[in-house]
Structure 1
Amino acid sequence: MATTTRSRTTGKAPLSAYVLSVLMALVLASIVGAVASVFYSENRVPGFVIFAACTVGTFFALGWVLFVSQYTVVEDPHAEDNIEHRWYDKATSGAFHDILTTGGIALVVLSITRVEISGVSVLLVLLILAMISVAVRFWAARRRDS
């Protein structure tokens, strides 16, 4: 699949790109807040506000990538050849194996002990483990190669 890249950018996006980013963020965050408020029947308004507020930044970043970055960012045509990209690949593939191993061991231990843990807690621990594993492996790869 061929990708087209801009050889030059203006450095500044038109106002409409920023407006689209903000609008997209507000609409998508409102949708997440509305869906969340359905599950918080006793506190619908706080549920809506909290979930919308927690996701609006991420959705603005997505909007920025979709609408603004095409005017402000010059793509590196050889990004896959960078050493940082190789460090990241090594770190994420190693972290994947860490997650598989840890998940398998935890499953065996929980099955034997018959301890019940909520899904939210398990997912939170897995995400934190993955982030730490990638960070440590990236740092180690960078340190090893420099």
Structure 2
Amino acid sequence: MSVENARSKWGRARFGGSTAQLLAASLAVAVLVSAALGWLFMLLRNGDRPLLAFGIMAVFTLPIAAVLAWVVLVDRSTIAGAIEKPEDSVESAWYDKAASGAFTDILLVGGLGCAALTFLGTEGTAGLVLGGVVAFAMLDFGVRYLWQKKTAA
């Protein structure tokens, strides 16, 4: 049986087995993770209705935990339509260039900002300063990525 015939929409598990076994294993891991998160939330919350807190947390984290478990357990080469080497795509090259440029900008702006704030004698809360740095980094990366995309077209 060739690799093309072994491909499915949901893929197969890394440890072998069918798609159904992959989905069952993903769901089992998700139930365990969700139960652990619900238990932790119940303990940390210290409220008057601990079982309700456990149930809500477990139910709301179950889908996310199932998807994350599937991502960890799936063999990428068995998914129909998956790109063989996604790291060799043009989008990956754009991402790398944008990330390296944004990192350089963060170092430059962070250093100049520290110097300016030191000489001006102004102060700010750590949350506000770090929020500004993160917002700048995201905006810088987004602009650089779109620029790479536009110049490549």
TM-score by length of 2: 0.62
Count of aligned pairs between the two proteins:
129
2:27 corresponds to which residue? 19
Task: Return closer, same or farther for 1:69/1:32 CA change in 2, 3 Å cut-off.
Answer: farther
The answer (yes or no) to whether the contact 1:25–1:63 under 8 Å persists in 2 is: no
Alignment of 1:1-146 (within 5 A): 8-12=6-10, 13-14=19-20, 15-20=23-28, 22-23=30-31, 25-26=33-34, 29-30=37-38, 33=41, 37=44, 56=61, 61-67=67-73, 70=76, 72=79, 75-146=82-153
- Percent identity over the alignment? 25
Uncovered stretches (5+) of structure 2, i.e. residues with no partner:
11-18, 48-52
The 2-side partners of 1:89 and 1:79 are apart by 13
Which one has the bigger helix percentage? 1
User: In structure 2, do the counterparts of structure 1 residues 77 and 68 end up closer, same or farther at CA, with 3 Å as the change threshold?
Assistant: closer
| The structure with more radius of gyration | 2
Secondary structure of the 2:119 match is helix
* C-alpha deviation, 1:30, in angstroms: 4.7
Tell me which amino acid in the other structure corresponds to 1:134: F
Per-residue CA shift, 1:53-88, capped at 9, x if unaligned?
A: 9x9476555333213575646653332321111111
Question: Structure 2 CA distance, aligned partners of 1:66 and 1:80?
Answer: 18
1:115 maps to amino acid: T
For 2:98 and 2:32, the matched residues in 1 are separated by: 33
Distance 2:113 2:148 in 1: 27
How has the CA–CA distance of structure 1 residues 21 and 130 changed in structure 2, closer, same or farther, with 3 Å as cutoff?
farther
Stretches of structure 1 lacking an aligned partner (at least 5 in a row): 1-5, 38-42
Structure 1: 4+ residue segments shifted above 4 A: 27-35, 55-61, 68-75
SS in 2 for 1:92: helix
Superposition TM-score, scaled by structure 1 size: 0.64
Please give the root-mean-square deviation of Cα atoms over the aligned residues, in Å: 3.5
Matched AA of 1:98: D
